[in-house]
A and B are shown apart, each in its own frame.
Chain A
Amino acid sequence: MKNWIKILLSFVVIIVYATMVSSSAKKKMVTVAKPLAFKVPSYEYAPPSQTSVGSNDLKILLLEPRFNDKFKYADYRTFNDFSKFMAGDLNESLTAKGYTVRGPFENYEGALYTDKIESDLLLNVQIDFDLNDQNIIWSGSEIQVSGKRKAAVFNTLYKLNGFFVLSGKLNLSLSEPITKEKIWVKSIPLKQRKINIVSTGTYKILRDYSAAFETEPSFSNPFVTTMQDYYKEILDIAWTNLDPNELTSLKKYTREIREKKKY
C-alpha cells in the first residue's frame, strides 16, 4: 500500500474516531415547556359538625354571597365561581347547624313571596374585598404603529410585575325577609394576603387588569390559590358567627316588624 494512501486512511480513521467519541455524548432531551393553563378553582368546604335538619325552629332565606360594588373584578371567573360555590356551601353549613334554608337565590327578586313570608330571617353575605395594587409596577414602552418621522404614531404597551395586597371584611347581616329591615349585623375583618404576580403579557391600558385576568394564566392563577384560602376562612367565620342560640332569639324581631308593618 502506498504511503499517501496510508496517511489518507489514517486521517479518515482519526476523523471517524473523533466523530464517534463526540457522538457518544448523552443526548440532550429537549423539553418543551407546556403553556401554562388557567387553574380551575377548587372551592370546597365541609361543615365541622352535623345536626339533624330543622333541629332548630328557624327558617333562613339565603341569598348568594356578593362582592361589594367597588370590587370591579367580581365578574371574572375566579371571583364569580367563588360566590357561586360559596352559596352552595353556606346552604350546607346552615343545614348542618339545623336551620331550614330556602335558597340560595341569586338575588332578592329571585325569591318568591311565599319563600319570603315563610322565612324568619333573610341572610345577606357580602364580601368586601379591597385589592391594593400599589406594589404593582407598570413599565411602558412606546411602539411605533404607523407613519414615519414626524408623522409617526406610537402606542404605549405596558408590562406589569410585583404583588397585590388583597384584604377586606366579611359582612353578615340578617333582616326581616319582607321589609328587609336589618336586625343583626356583623362585620369581620379578613386576613390580608399578598399575591405575587409574574406577568409576561403586554397591556394597553394602564392599571387595568381586565385583560390580564382574561388572557394570562400566570397573572390569574395566583389569585385562584389566594381565593381558595379565603374560601375556607370565610366559611369558618360564617360557621362560628351564625350560631343558632343567638339567631333564634332574633325571631321575635321578625314577628314584631311584621306586626308593625301589617304583614
Chain B
Amino acid sequence: MNKRLIYFLLSILCLLIGVGLYYFFKKDVLVYESFIGLKKMNTRGYSFANWLPDLCWEISFLFMLSAIWGNWQLVPNSMKLLTLAVIMGTELVQMLGWLPGTGDIKDILVYFIGFSIFTLLFLINRPKQNL
C-alpha cells in the first residue's frame, strides 16, 4: 500500500483515538465537543485523559505531515522545528492564559518525548532519498 496512504490512515486513526479517549474518559465537556453537540454523562474522569488524547493528536499531526511530505525524514527541518514550536507553543500559551485550557509542564514533556520517539522511529527506518 502507498506509504502516504498508510500515514494518512494512521493519522486519522490516532486522531479518532484521541477523540474517543476524550469522549469516554474525560469528565468535562470540551469546547469542540460542545461545538459539535456531543453529549456525555461521564461520572468520573481519568488522569490519563489529561495528556494521552493530546499525545494521540500530536502523533496524528506528525503522521499527517509525513503523509504530505512522503516521510517524516523528508519533512524540512524548518517545518519540523515549526511543528515542535506549535506543539510546545500551544501548551505554553495555555499556561500564560492566552488560549483556553490548562497549560502544564508535564504535558510539554510528554509531547517532547512523543515527538522525539516519533523522530527516532523514522531514523531507524530511514527511507531512500529517491522514494
Identify the A interface with B (CB < 8 A). 1, 6-7, 9-10, 13-14, 17-18, 20-28
Contact = CB atoms under 8 A, between A and B. Distances in A.
Nearest to B35: A23
A14 B57 CA distance: 11
Contact of A24 (B61, B64, B101): B101
Contacts of B53: 24
Given A18-B86, A21-B90, 8 more contacts: A13-B64, A13-B65, A17-B61, A18-B90, A24-B32, A24-B101, A25-B94, A25-B102
Contact of B30 (A9, A10, A14, A25): A25
Nearest to A14: B86
Contacts of B22: 24
Contact of B57 (A7, A20, A28): A20
B17 interface: no
A13 B75 CA distance: 13
Interface residues of B, number: 31
A144 to B, nearest CB: 40
A24 B86 contact: no
A218 B53 CA distance: 47
B77 interface: no
B83 interface: yes
A25 B31 contact: yes
Interface of B: 22, 28-35, 53-54, 57-58, 61, 64-65, 68-69, 75, 79, 82-83, 86-87, 90-91, 94, 99-102
Q: Interface on chain A toward B: helix, strand, loop, or mixed SS?
A: helix
B95 to A, nearest CB: 12
6 contacts: A6-B69, A14-B86, A17-B87, A23-B32, A25-B94, A25-B102
A126 B75 CA distance: 91
A13 B11 CA distance: 11
